[in-house]
A and B are shown apart, each in its own frame.
Chain A
Amino acid sequence: DAKTTQPNSMESNEEEPVHLPCNHSTISGTDYIHWYRQLPSQGPEYVIHGLTSNVNNRMASLAIAEDRKSSTLILHRATLRDAAVYYCILFYSGGSNYKLTFGKGTLLTVNP
């Protein structure tokens, strides 16, 4: 499985934007970039995904580098509820195997 690299932890203040980076230099052309997050005492939760173009949804934005070797998850205005571990996952779009390969993720702390 293609590997991703994320900082172990990041800190933000409430109401400020947060940029969570992810490096995936060995990404292949058929890999989508997915982001999940895990709130305390809960299961992981899908956040957003993309292939080449930047993506926006109600939760976040995903900015993908032109060479696709890195991406950034953007939370436009962090809230206390956004404190979680964020996982950047490469997802092979071919076939019918949808298993997710989790790394260590980034622990985001949001200060009031």
Chain B
Amino acid sequence: EAGVTQFPSHSVIEKGQTVTLRCDPISGHDNLYWYRRVMGKEIKFLLHFVKESKQDESGMPNNRFLAERTGGTYSTLKVQPAELEDSGVYFCASSRETGKAYEQYFGPGTRLTVT
């Protein structure tokens, strides 16, 4: 089966601009997660979708970040306006709804650089 894919792999934008990251989970995975690692820090959870619903968005840093998962398939994470501290690697992961729901499959990440 195809793995989790993320687009773009790398994005360089200026402070104040908008960027949209996309994640395509493994087909049939109802759970979708966003994480990020900012420079020198640990990987941090951002939010969790179950199908199209937000199950947990406790990790979203502020209202400049908007995540959507229309139709319960792919997800987008929009940062508007981007700030310097948003630079880092954004990971998406997915897992099954039941059974091995705990086993998360991660994508390769999107490296975001805000200048």
Q: Say if A and B assemble together.
A: yes
Instruction: List A residues at the B interface (Cβ < 8 Å).
Output: 32, 34, 41-46, 49, 91, 93, 96-104
Q: Mark B44-73, 1 if CB is under 8 A from A, else 0.
A: 110010100001100100000000000000
A contact patch SS = loop
Using a CB–CB cutoff of 8 Å, the interface residues on chain B facing chain A are: 4, 31, 33, 35, 42-45, 48, 50, 55-56, 59, 91, 93, 95, 101-109
Pick the contact of A97 from B42, B55, B93, B108 — CB < 8 Å? B55
Q: How many A-B residue pairs have CB under 8 A?
A: 55
B108 close to A99 (CB less than 8 A) = no
- 10 cross-chain pairs, A with B, having the tightest CB-CB distances, nearest first: A43-B106, A102-B43, A99-B45, A46-B103, A44-B106, A43-B91, A102-B42, A43-B107, A43-B109, A97-B56
Q: Among B31, B56, B102, B108, point to the contact of A91 (Cβ < 8 A).
A: B102
Contact yes or no, B107 A101, CB < 8 A: no
Q: Which residues of A contact B35 (CB under 8 A)?
A: 100, 102
